[in-house]
Amino acid sequence: MHENTLAQLSRALQSKTLSSVELTEHYLKRIEQLDPLLNSYITVAPELALAQAKAADARIAGGTATALTGIPLAHKDLFCTSGLRTSCGSKMLDNFIAPYESTVTARFIDAGAVTLGKTNMDEFAMGSSTESSFYGPTRNPWNTEHVPGGSSGGSASAVAARLCAAATGTDTGGSIRQPAGFTALTGLKPTYGRVSRWGMIAYASSLDQAGPMARTAEDCALMMQVMAGFDERDSTSVDEPVADYSAGLNDSLKGLRIGLPREYFGDGLDAATADAIHAAVKQFQALGAEVKEISLPNAELAIPAYYVIAPAEASSNLSRFDGVRFGYRCDDPADLTDLYKRSRGEGFGPEVKRRIMVGAYALSAGYYDAYYLQAQKIRRLIKNDFMAAYEQVDVILCPTSPTPPFKIGEKIDDPVSLYLTDIYTITANLAGVPGIALPAGFANGMPLGMQLLGPYFSEARLLNIAHQYQQVTDWHSRAPAGY
Amino acid sequence: MALDRKAVEGIAHLARIALSEDDVPATTAKLSGILDLIDRMQAVDTQGVAPLAHPLETTQRLRADAVTETNQREALQAIAPATEDGLYLVPRVIE
């Protein structure tokens, strides 16, 4: 059952060759057997899942089902899910039962999907390996000594290990695309403002975006159809009509112009990854695309700019965690200042504290111009680079990571070396453009990913291109041994 | 950029994060490393470039000044560490 893609499961449920209860029980059993090693779930919700599955079967019988009705999903533990613990991978929220439902998860509930549970993540979404979680690291099912990437590593691992049909993730600096690349999945970061952030625990408000993580572009299209749309309650939500993400999947790629940024194919890139992308170039050319070199001249400045803007916004967003209204409170606070300082000092992990402090510094009197304002100007330059590139090409092709998935423990003690691995993903968040990651090959049994970046609101086109590539390659249909 | 102890303690205070004596050296070293990374931004002249705060540069939507939310104090306070009569309790602030 779990070998099937979401699209196949959807058809099986609709034709009643399979029930949602059977499917849900199957995944719950797999989670019980296989997740103790992987640690991809923080919270599993068997009673809720089975109740939803039962309701889904009734709805299917009644003829009012949609594509996602009865489909068991996992949600990154950053979406507020009413009545369920929502921890953000942090001790600060280990006791937090969300009192309301996020827009994204509410949309899946309305569609009749089943919630299997909440997945592990880097604490407060700050990380690229899922090693900073209060609940311990998640392991990559392709090789359990290696990271699944981050911060949506739990979602990636759960989907890759076939412990759910698909999952939601979020991407602020690459946190959907990099783990998708590390686990042979397809993951989409939509245009900023395409998917509502209401009920998403905020990290960096001008960068955060939720998106699907699944085994195929076709599956991601089905997930996007549920997730995308204007939401009154998110003041950054864009009132742009929602495309039919599945309708154009089979459009021809003839005449598609693909750009390869020269700045992204230099010395820092792993040779096997570079080879996989050059092989993909040939595939795209065979499908009718033209491929040419382009330039993103300010690409290198993206990392310092991001590591000012994101921590600055985080320092503001995480100031709400003060031990007063919810979440962790320290024991026996001596006074109000002690309450704040120790609740935060004890409740947050080291990486979160570092980023809050970097952000506070960058925004403080005397440093604002040199750091925050400068970073925002660089952000403008990066956006301009994309706009100029899209005058010459329709989409940009590049790697998701400079290296294949690294070993657990290899980079976590050196924050800066981990930050530098975000080089390919960060630019899309700064510019707000959409990007899709998909599998491009394997090296030593480990997945190699690539991504396609498009103009604003080109998600349907990105899904189409990925789908066409997946019709002529089979990286996406491989499963890790034992899963 | 190398930070000194006083700067790190100052930042920790701004962020309202308790920093133990033992943590100060490691925190100072790591923060200094991050600031070195960030300083790479100074390599470019951004004279005349307009800052970009929001990727699509949309403006804040406004809505009518009408009540649309219901009072959910009980539900929202159910998860609070300490409350009394609908108020959140904290250590005494005013002597």
CB-side exposure of B49: number of CA atoms within 13 Å? 19
The answer to whether A396 and A258 have CB atoms below 8 angstroms apart is yes
Choose the mutation target among B16, B23, B71 for the interface with A, i.e. most A CBs under 10 Å.
Answer: B16
CB contact under 8 A, B12 and A357: yes
CB contact under 8 A, A304 and B15: no
Pairwise CA distance, residues A89 & A357, whole Å: 19
**Is A411 considered catalytic here?**
no
What pLDDT is stored for residue A303 in this prediction? 94
At what angle are helices B23-38 and A350-363 packed, to 10 degrees? 60
Asked if B58 is an interface residue toward chain A (Cβ–Cβ < 8 A), one would say yes
With H, G, I as helix, E, B as strand and everything else as coil, classify residue A261.
Answer: strand
Total number of domains in chain B: 1
CB contact under 8 A, A378 and B42: no
Quickly list DSSP for A339-360.
HHHHHHHHHS-HHHHHHHHHHH
Which ipTM score applies to this complex?
0.94
With H, G, I as helix, E, B as strand and everything else as coil, classify residue A187.
Answer: strand
CB contact under 8 A, A344 and B15: yes
The distance of A96 to chain B (nearest Cα, Å) reads: 7
CB contact under 8 A, B52 and A377: yes
CA nearest to A470, candidates A259, A212, A217, A248: A217
Pairwise CA distance, residues A481 & A442, whole Å: 14
Superfamily of the domain at A1-483: Amidase signature (AS) domain (3.90.1300.10)
For residue B18, give the CATH number of its domain: 1.10.20.60
The dihedrals phi and psi of A217, each to the nearest 5 degrees, come to -65, -35
Task: Count Cβ atoms within 10 A of the Cβ of residue A442 and give its class: 0-12 exposed, 13-18 middle, 19 or more buried.
Answer: middle
Q: What is the CA radius of gyration of chain A?
A: 21
- By residue count, chain A amounts to 483
- Of residues A10, A19, A76, A155, which has the active-site annotation? A76
In a domain, B18, yes or no: yes
Residue found under tokens 């034709």: A15
Task: Count Cβ atoms within 10 A of the Cβ of residue A91 and give its class: 0-12 exposed, 13-18 middle, 19 or more buried.
Answer: middle
CA nearest to A14, candidates A71, A96, A74: A71
Choose the mutation target among B24, B28, B36, B41 for the interface with A, i.e. most A CBs under 10 Å.
Answer: B41
Q: How many CB pairs lie under 8 A apart between chains A and B? A: 166
**Beta bridge pairs of residue A195:** A228
In a domain, B23, yes or no: yes
User: Which segments of chain B does DSSP mark as H helices, in order?
Assistant: 5-14, 23-38, 73-77
**Contacts of A125 by beta carbon, 8 Å cutoff, 6+ apart:** A78, A88, A89, A151, A170, A172, A175, A201, A203, A208
The distance of B58 to chain A (nearest Cα, Å) reads: 8
Q: How far is CA A349 from the centre of its chain?
A: 21
Pairwise CA distance, residues A425 & A421, whole Å: 9
Q: Which two tokens stand for residue B8?
A: 């790190």
**Closest chain A residue to B87 measured between Cα atoms?**
A325
A214: left (phi over 0), alpha (psi -120 to 50) or beta: beta
What pLDDT is stored for residue A413 in this prediction? 86
pLDDT higher than threshold 80 for residue B2: no
Number of H helices, E strands in chain B: 3, 2
pLDDT higher than threshold 80 for residue B95: no
**Closest chain A residue to B35 measured between Cα atoms?**
A358
With H, G, I as helix, E, B as strand and everything else as coil, classify residue A188.
Answer: strand
Residues A57, A58, A63: CA angle, nearest 5 degrees: 95
The whole-number mean pLDDT for each consecutive block of 10 residues of chain A, a chain of 483 residues, reads: 97 97 98 98 98 98 97 98 98 97 98 98 97 98 98 98 98 98 98 98 97 98 98 95 98 98 92 97 98 96 95 97 96 95 97 96 90 96 98 98 96 87 95 98 97 98 98 98 96
CA nearest to A214, candidates A172, A246, A259, A250: A246
For chain A, positions 406-465, list CB contacts with chain B under 8 A: 415-416, 419, 430-433, 456
Quickly list DSSP for B58-76.
PPPP---S---PPP-HHHH
Choose the mutation target among A357, A363, A371 for the interface with B, i.e. most B CBs under 10 Å.
Answer: A357
The dihedrals phi and psi of A376, each to the nearest 5 degrees, come to -70, -30
Q: Nearest by CB to A344, from B16, B43, B52: name it.
A: B16
What pLDDT is stored for residue A294 in this prediction? 98
CB contact under 8 A, A374 and B41: yes
The distance of B54 to chain A (nearest Cα, Å) reads: 6
In a domain, B12, yes or no: yes
The answer to whether A463 and A245 have CB atoms below 8 angstroms apart is yes
**Contacts of B88 by beta carbon, 8 Å cutoff, 6+ apart:** A324, A325, B77, B80, B82
**Is A76 considered catalytic here?**
yes
The distance of B87 to chain A (nearest Cα, Å) reads: 10
Amino acid code (one letter) for A368: Y
Provide the sign of the torsion angle of the four alpha carbons A357, A363, A367, A372, taken in this order: positive
A128: left (phi over 0), alpha (psi -120 to 50) or beta: alpha
**Contacts of A352 by beta carbon, 8 Å cutoff, 6+ apart:** A90, A123, A124, A126, A132, A314, A318
**Contacts of A153 by beta carbon, 8 Å cutoff, 6+ apart:** A40, A120, A121, A122, A129, A130, A137, A138, A147, A179
What pLDDT is stored for residue A267 in this prediction? 85
Q: What is the CA radius of gyration of chain B?
A: 22
Higher pLDDT, A246 or B23: A246
Instruction: Give the CA distances from residue A217 to residues A72, A174, A225, A333, in Å, rounded to whole numbers and listed in that order.
Output: 18, 18, 12, 51
**Is A151 considered catalytic here?**
yes
| Domain membership of residue B34 as a residue range | 5-43
CB contact under 8 A, B46 and A381: yes
Quickly list DSSP for A403-460.
SSPPBTTSSTT-HHHHHGGGTTTHHHHHHT--EEEEEEEEETTEEEEEEEE-STT-HH
